[in-house]
Amino acid sequence: MWTCPPPLASLSSLVAPPTLLDRHLVFVTGKGGAGKSTVTAALALLASRAGKRVLACEVNAPQERLAPLLRAPAGEGLREARPGLHVLDVRPRAAMREYGLKVLRFQAVYHAVFENRLMQYFLRAIPSLSELVVLGKILHEARSLEPGGRPRWDLVLVDAPATGHALQLLRVPSALLDTLPGGPVRRDAEWMARMLVDPVRTAVAIVTLPEELPVNEAIELDAEVGGVLGMARAALFVNAVPTSRSSPEEARALSALAAAPPPLGPAARAAALAATRAERAGRQLARACDAIDAPATVLPLLPTAGWGPPEIEALAGAIAEGWARGEGG
Q: DSSP letters of 105-148?
A: --HHHHHHHHT-HHHHHHHHHSTTHHHHHHHHHHHHHHH-B-TT
For range 258-278, the mean pLDDT:
82
Question: Is residue 69, in this structure, part of any structural domain at all?
Answer: yes
What is this structure's pTM? Answer: 0.85
Dihedral angle sign, alpha carbons of residues 58, 60, 61, 67: positive
pLDDT at position 318 is 94
Question: What is the number of domains present in the chain?
Answer: 1
Question: Is residue 274, in this structure, part of any structural domain at all?
Answer: no
- pLDDT tens for each residue of 112-130: 445 555 445 444 545 467 7
pLDDT at position 19 is 72
Question: Can you give the residue range of the structural domain that contains 319?
Answer: 25-243+293-324
Mean pLDDT score of the chain: 84
Question: Is residue 145, in this structure, part of any structural domain at all?
Answer: yes
| Whole-number Å distance between alpha carbons of 115 and 93 | 11
Q: Tell me which amino acid residue 29 is.
A: T
Question: Is residue 11, in this structure, part of any structural domain at all?
Answer: no
- pLDDT tens for each residue of 239-254: 999 987 767 777 777 7
- The DSSP result for 3-65, as a single string, is -PPPPSS--SSSS--TTTTTSSEEEEEESTTS-HHHHHHHHHHHHHHTT--EEEEEES-SS--
Q: Dihedral, CA atoms, 228, 225, 291, 273, nearest 10 degrees?
A: -130
CATH, residue 83: 3.40.50.300
| Whole-number Å distance between alpha carbons of 202 and 94 | 24
pLDDT at position 2 is 53
- pLDDT of residue 201 exceeding 60, the answer is yes
**What angle, rounded to 10 degrees, do the helices at 163-177 and 184-196 form?**
130
Question: Is residue 9, in this structure, part of any structural domain at all?
Answer: no
312: number of Cβ within 10 Å: 24
- Specify whether the CB–CB gap between 231 and 260 falls below 8 A: no
Question: Is residue 5, in this structure, part of any structural domain at all?
Answer: no
Q: Determine how β-strand 85-90 pairs with β-strand 79-82.
A: antiparallel
- pLDDT of residue 229 exceeding 60, the answer is yes
- 82 in helix, strand or coil? strand
Element (H, E) at 235: strand 233-241
DSSP 226: I
| Whole-number Å distance between alpha carbons of 79 and 67 | 8
- pLDDT of residue 100 exceeding 70, the answer is no
Question: Is residue 281, in this structure, part of any structural domain at all?
Answer: no
Question: Is residue 271, in this structure, part of any structural domain at all?
Answer: no
- pLDDT of residue 316 exceeding 90, the answer is yes
- pLDDT of residue 65 exceeding 70, the answer is yes
256: number of Cβ within 10 Å: 10
Q: Which tops the pLDDT comparison, 224 or 303?
A: 224
Residues 6+ apart with CB under 8 A from 147: none
